With several copies, the nearest count.
Chain A
Amino acid sequence: MTTNNKSITCKKLLFISRHAPYGTSLAKEALDAILAASAYDQNLSLLFMDDGVFQLLSAQDPSDLEQKNFAAMLPVLALYEIENIYVHFESLQARQITINELILDGVQVIDSKTICSLLTQQDQLLSF
């Protein structure tokens, strides 16, 4: 793929991750999908909302479940240069989760209205 082709096909893709970790595999599969997307030179964003915000709690310890720690996996997003990471303010508020409980430093907390306009700026939504 030439640089020229790349620019033609550079799209804005927003991954929306709405499910809690561990109870189902959707949270992990959303993460795997956006990491795979990072190889394609697209404009990527990731939004956590609803129970998906529980993925960000830093105190996770799934050793009894013999599963990988989700909180320990999320920092890999920075290594893959995925920097547009959003968290839904009202979802945090409903769960009384404060920003200092979250594993990621660089997340942008945005309200419902801002999410609405974020969606309108995208070329595709990947719904998880």
Chain B
Amino acid sequence: MIFSLAIYAAPYSSQASDTAYRFAAAVLANGHQLYRVFFYHDGVHNSSALMTPPQDEINLVLQWQQLSQDYNIDLVVCIAAALRRGLLNEQEANRYDKPTFNLNQNFEISGLGQLVDAAVISDRLITFGG
């Protein structure tokens, strides 16, 4: 079965991103396909390459990165939500004359259409709100 996830919660502040990650891992462990994880609202903070938790705590951005690399999963950050919240890739940083960028390289910035596309392509879309 094809799953996609929509994540609207900030890591650490809310447990919901961690729940979503564990659900994603269980989807894959059960032999299902994970088509896309879409980050919106405060969920965009999951993509920060500058996230620096203490070494004995979960590092969600690295967990998503690993999942994406191991299973070739689409990690998409909503562009409108990301820009407002200070998450930029190199291209957006250039476009808006910002001195640097902070998006982890395994995440892609795109539009809300990618959420709709995930809803259309997947058998199940599950939302994780904060």
- The one of B8, B15, B119 in contact with A22, judged by C-beta atoms closer than 8 angstroms, is B15
Chain A contact residues, majority secondary structure: mixed
- The one of B18, B81, B116 in contact with A40, judged by C-beta atoms closer than 8 angstroms, is B116
Q: Flag B61-75 by CB within 8 Å of A: 1 or 0 each.
A: 000000000000000
Number of residues in A with C-beta < 8 Å to the partner? 25
Q: Which of A23, A65, A124, A125 has the most CB of B within 10 A?
A: A124
Chain B interface size, under 10 / 10 to 19 / 20 to 34 / 35 or more: 20 to 34
* Residue B12 CB within 8 A of the other chain: yes
* Residue B80 CB within 8 A of the other chain: yes
Name the residue of chain B whose CB is nearest to the CB of A38.
B116
Name the residue of chain B whose CB is nearest to the CB of A40.
B116
Asked if B116 contacts A29 (CB within 8 A), the reply is: no
Q: Which residues of B in the span 1-58 have a Cβ within 8 Å of any Cβ on A?
A: 6, 8, 12-15, 18, 40-41, 58
* Residue B113 CB within 8 A of the other chain: yes
Which residues does chain B contribute within 8 Å of A26, judged by CB atoms?
8, 41
Name the residue of chain B whose CB is nearest to the CB of A35.
B112
A29 and B120 alpha carbons, distance in the complex (Å): 19
Asked if A24 contacts B15 (CB within 8 A), the reply is: yes
A63 and B122 alpha carbons, distance in the complex (Å): 32
Q: Which residues of B in the span 88-130 have a Cβ within 8 Å of any Cβ on A?
A: 111-113, 115-117, 119-122, 124-125, 127, 129
Q: Flag A26-39 by CB within 8 Å of B: 1 or 0 each.
A: 10010011001101
Q: Flag A59-71 by CB within 8 Å of B: 1 or 0 each.
A: 0000001110000
14 contacts between A and B (CB under 8 A): A11-B119, A13-B116, A13-B119, A26-B8, A29-B41, A32-B112, A36-B115, A37-B116, A65-B15, A67-B58, A124-B119, A126-B6, A126-B125, A127-B127
Interface residues of A (CB under 8 A from B): 9, 11, 13, 22-26, 29, 32-33, 36-37, 39-40, 42, 65-67, 123-128
Known: A9-B120, A33-B115, A39-B113. 8 other contacts (CB 8 A): A13-B120, A24-B13, A29-B40, A33-B40, A40-B117, A65-B18, A66-B58, A124-B122
